[in-house]
Amino acid sequence: EEVITDAPSLDALPTIPLFSDLPRDAFIELFERCPLRRFSAGERIIEQGSHGDAFYVICEGQARVFRMDAERRVELAVLEGGAFFGEMAILSGAPRTASVEAASEDTQLLEISAPVLASLSRSHPQVAAALKKFVRQRLLTNVMN
């Protein structure tokens, strides 16, 4: 894992549905405030059961989400560019509900800390509303898996 220091080209980013209602200046500010991290294929990003204090938006590559039930590995999702993960633990304060690993070489993630999300949600409540909608859908999927 490494931090990418040169600024990403915002125009090369995939569409990020979570931020579709965010004004462009707020979007740019978010990318200036948050580190962009690079992972290689198979590298673990989130460990099920651990404490979480950030969530991630996929700027490049894919990520695999899975859960261990006793010894059984349950595949929950493969997330593509523009998707996000790791929001549940920072919203609920509960441990990470699943593990996430990079599924492609050069997976690039914007890491958004809990305090940055909190201030973003205050200034742009539509982001918080969109986030909740995604969480509801994911929880429903997991209950049925």
List interacting residues with ligand CMP (CB under 6 A): 46, 52, 65, 76-77, 85-89, 96-98, 100, 138, 141-142
Q: What's the min distance (Å) between Cβ of 91 and ligand CMP?
A: 8
Q: Which of 75, 57, 77 shows the shortest CA–CA distance to 130?
A: 57
The per-residue DSSP string of 9-57 comes to -GGGSPP-GGGTTS-HHHHHHHHHHS-EEEE-TT-EEE-TTS---EEEE
Name every residue whose Cβ is closer than 8 Å to that of residue 72 and which is 6 or more positions away in sequence.
none
The whole-angstrom separation of Cα 142 and Cα 66 is 10
- Asked whether 78 and 65 are in contact (CB, 8 A), the reply is yes
Q: What's the min distance (Å) between Cβ of 7 and ligand CMP?
A: 26
Residue number, 38 or 138, with CB nearest to ligand CMP: 138
Q: Tell me the residue nearest to ligand CMP as measured from the CB.
A: 89
Residue number, 41 or 77, with CB nearest to ligand CMP: 77
Residue number, 52 or 124, with CB nearest to ligand CMP: 52
Tokens 């969109």 map to which residue?
130
Residue number, 22 or 79, with CB nearest to ligand CMP: 79
Q: What's the min distance (Å) between Cβ of 111 and ligand CMP?
A: 13
Q: What's the min distance (Å) between Cβ of 25 and ligand CMP?
A: 27
The whole-angstrom separation of Cα 142 and Cα 145 is 5
